[in-house]
Chains A and B, each alone.
Chain A
């Protein structure tokens, strides 16, 4: 399997939109790709759009938490956007509340959150 999830760069932000039910190796590849792209591009934000995901199990949940932690060490903030209500309910019941992961309801709000962060950190937009 050489399928990879595309990572797009918009300004200082890397954008990943997960569109299909991913098998585990692709999930792991995405985590590694994001770390490399953060360093290669100097991006200071990552947005992971999970609007299309019907489930997030502990494996994908762990990838989201790991990616947030890894990107923070590489001086980038991660925001997960578009989580469905049923996914949130299920994740909490599963025992994964993703405490270290920032979320926003929509892509627009996620980008705005990163923008505010950047302004706060650098003192300029």
Chain B
């Protein structure tokens, strides 16, 4: 059922301001619509993207989002990567705990985003930035 992953039509959105966070979620919405995600799945993915783009800006000091359509066998989905070269995260498990925040937020960004997507990968080390990759498949 799953074949090799093919990534198509990649597009980058720099994230350096609040306006860019809006642009990032609009870009993800366009991909979600084009890939045929249901309305609920579009909403979940765009909401997750909004949380992650804001993290990139607020905690990572800005960075880049890359969004693409992804195919694996007959499946189609949207893949988005949020990358910054900020301070990084020392304790990944803690960062993924509901309610934990290093800033003034609700602490739902990472943990909530993870629940809203099908695949979630967080890579970070103190001093070398943070990279979050998410995928949502059309059903």
Interface residues of A (CB under 8 A from B): 1, 21-25, 54-59, 61-62, 84-87, 89-90, 93-96
Contacts and interface: CB of A to CB of B under 8 A. Distances in A.
Nearest to B115: A93
A54 to B, nearest CB: 7
Contact of A58 (B21, B22, B42, B51): B51
A90 B98 contact: no
B108 interface: yes
Nearest to B109: A58
Contacts of A89: 40, 43-44
A22 B19 CA distance: 9
Contact of B18 (A24, A54, A84): A24
A14 to B, nearest CB: 25
Given A24-B54, A86-B39, A87-B43, A58 B25 contact: no
A98 B79 CA distance: 29
Given A23-B19, A54-B29, A95 B54 contact: no
Interface string B38-53: 0110111011001100
Contact of A93 (B25, B42, B44): B44
A95 B116 CA distance: 10
Given A21-B22, A23-B21, A94 B112 contact: yes
A58 B46 contact: no
Interface of B: 18-19, 21-22, 25-26, 29, 39-40, 42-44, 46-47, 50-51, 54, 98, 105-106, 108-109, 111-113, 115-116
Contacts of A54: 29, 43, 46
Nearest to B104: A62
A10 to B, nearest CB: 29
A1, A24, A54, A57: residue with the most chain B Cβ atoms closer than 10 Å? A57
Nearest to A26: B18
Given A24-B54, A90-B44, 8 more contacts: A21-B22, A56-B47, A58-B112, A86-B39, A86-B42, A87-B43, A89-B43, A95-B112
B47 A21 contact: no
